[in-house]
Amino acid sequence: MSRLNDSPNLRLNYQTACFLTSAPTLAACPPDSGAEVAFAGRSNAGKSSAINALTRQKALARTSKTPGRTQLINFFTLGDDTERRLVDLPGYGFAKVPESVKLEWQRHLSDYLQRRGSLRGLVLVMDVRHPLSEFDQTLLGWADDKEMPVHILLTKADKLKSGAAKGALHQVRSRLREWEDLVSIQLFSSLKGQGIEEVHQCLDRWLLGDDA
């Protein structure tokens, strides 16, 4: 099991994350057992960079200068512990693809979020400068229907001065006050390593559950 043993509390070691498989549809996903946390976000919100920062790996999740290149559901295990997984969902708002493709992938995302029994929580990645897009709000609606907890990362916080970043955080919290029982929000910077420990604590709660 990929846990850290230097703490009285159980912790997971995210640096041991490794690629398991990719799936184009829900039916092709690995067995629906154990616990997993999915990462979702717009194609240019910094989702892959966030996953790489959280696992302290440079290329675990694919990053590209062309947003939306990765259109598969990607699964990562924590070391040899296949019962606890991180999931990189396709970036929504694909650039330069037909509308029919966007709609098809929206359907696959909906299938995964609504029907995946092992899903314990959703990390929703938003650029702090452009939060709460229409599709962000659609994802929050899906999560609300399933009573699925959501942790929002306001990424690229290093692009704003401290006061402006904190102001953006407060504004998003205010807009989502009706969902405060399911939604938590933080600032995050992959470049500066800001907020990594806070995310690890959230992931531990979801993936360890009663063991934490």
Give tens-digit pLDDT for 32-90.
999 999 999 987 899 999 999 999 999 898 765 544 445 789 999 999 999 999 999 98
What does pTM read for this prediction?
0.90
Q: Look up residue 7 and give its two tokens.
A: 């703490």
Long-range contacts of 21-24 (CB under 8 A, 24+ apart): 21/74, 21/75, 22/72, 22/73, 22/74, 22/75, 23/72, 23/73, 23/75, 24/71, 24/72, 24/73, 24/108
The H or E element spanning position 182 is none
Top-confidence residue, 62 or 161: 161
How sure is the predictor about 2, in pLDDT bands with cuts at 50, 70 and 90?
very low
Quote the CA–CA distance of 186 and 113 in Å, as a whole number.
Answer: 22
Quote the CA–CA distance of 174 and 180 in Å, as a whole number.
Answer: 9
Residue 61's pLDDT is what? 86
Mean pLDDT (the chain, rounded):
88
In the numeric block, the tokens 């699964």 are attached to 75
Lowest mean pLDDT among 14-28, 80-94, 127-141, 155-169: 80-94
Please, are residues 73 and 88 in contact by the beta-carbon 8 Å criterion? yes
The H or E element spanning position 82 is strand 81-88
Please, are residues 53 and 125 in contact by the beta-carbon 8 Å criterion? no
Encode pLDDT of 23-44 as tens digits: 988 999 999 999 999 999 987 8
Buried b (16+ CB within 10 A) or exposed e, 50-65: bbbbbbebeebbebee
Quote the CA–CA distance of 92 and 70 in Å, as a whole number.
Answer: 10
Mean pLDDT of 152-176: 96
- Alpha helices, H only, the chain: 47-55, 99-115, 134-146, 162-175, 196-208
Please, are residues 103 and 109 in contact by the beta-carbon 8 Å criterion? no
Mean pLDDT of 90-103: 71
Encode pLDDT of 183-207 as tens digits: 999 999 999 999 999 999 999 999 9
Encode pLDDT of 107-137 as tens digits: 888 889 889 999 999 999 999 999 999 889 9
Residue 103's pLDDT is what? 78
Residue 199's pLDDT is what? 98
